[in-house]
Amino acid sequence: MNHLIVYAHPFEDSFNHAILENAISSLESKGHSVVVRDLYALGFNPVLCPLDFKELRSGNTPDDIETEQAYIKNADAITLIYPLWWTGMPAILKGYIDRVFAYGFAYQYTKEGTVEGLLSDKKALMITTQGTPNAYYDASGMTKSLKQTTDEGIFGFCGAKTLDHLFFGGISTSDDAMRKEMLKTVQLTLKELF
């Protein structure tokens, strides 16, 4: 399968980067082709601006958006790897979704006024790290809300099927052994899913 990993973390020594490396090696060891779009390394511009709207409406997709859309078109599976920041994606990743998952590319409205997802041939996977322990967010309903706004609100809206959303909590206070277990979960999940 062709895999696209969209990665949003500013530091190479982060736990997110360890997840990225494990995900790549796990997929490649099973013969999958993997493309990584590292948004910070690319200096991706996340601001959906008036000119973008004007160009997209007139059918002239801005070059940087077109480049990312080509990676999506070519992918069978899209994996997002990111830390939870203020109970959402880092702004650079949210802006990637704003700009790249554009009307007419990722979704459109039918004559009847319903939404038609245009990414229905894609599978999605999300891997999120967070400072708060999972048990706390599970009990407060936050985990459900996070799934609803990403799995359902973004990928589901565009017709893509979310295969899983891994939440790794308590990262800020986790030790090496706990992190190793989490990385093992990343590898096993990817091997099971693909």
Residues contributing to the site for ligand FMN (CB under 6 A): 9, 14-16, 83-87, 129-132, 171-172
Alpha helix ranges (H) inside the chain: 15-29, 39-42, 50-57, 63-74, 91-100, 134-140, 142-147, 176-193
Residues with Cβ within 8 Å of 159's Cβ and at least 6 positions away in sequence, in order, are 107, 116, 117, 118, 119, 120, 122
- Residue 38 vs 52, nearer CB to ligand FMN: 38
Minimum separation from the CB atom of position 146 to ligand FMN (A): 10
- Residue 52 vs 151, nearer CB to ligand FMN: 151
- Residue 17 vs 161, nearer CB to ligand FMN: 17
- Residue 88 vs 159, nearer CB to ligand FMN: 88
Minimum separation from the CB atom of position 84 to ligand FMN (A): 4
Q: Kindly tell me the sign of the dihedral angle through the C-alpha atoms of 22, 166, 152, 50.
A: negative
Q: Say which amino acid occupies 156.
A: G
Minimum separation from the CB atom of position 180 to ligand FMN (A): 14
Minimum separation from the CB atom of position 109 to ligand FMN (A): 33
- Residue 175 vs 192, nearer CB to ligand FMN: 175
Minimum separation from the CB atom of position 18 to ligand FMN (A): 8
Residues with Cβ within 8 Å of 153's Cβ and at least 6 positions away in sequence, in order, are none
Q: Say which amino acid occupies 127.
A: I
**83 and 90 in contact (C-beta within 8 Å)?**
yes
Q: What's the rounded Cα separation, in Å, for the pair 48 and 102?
A: 10
CA distances from 68 to 43, 56, 133, 161 (A): 13, 14, 33, 20
Minimum separation from the CB atom of position 179 to ligand FMN (A): 9
- Residue 79 vs 129, nearer CB to ligand FMN: 129
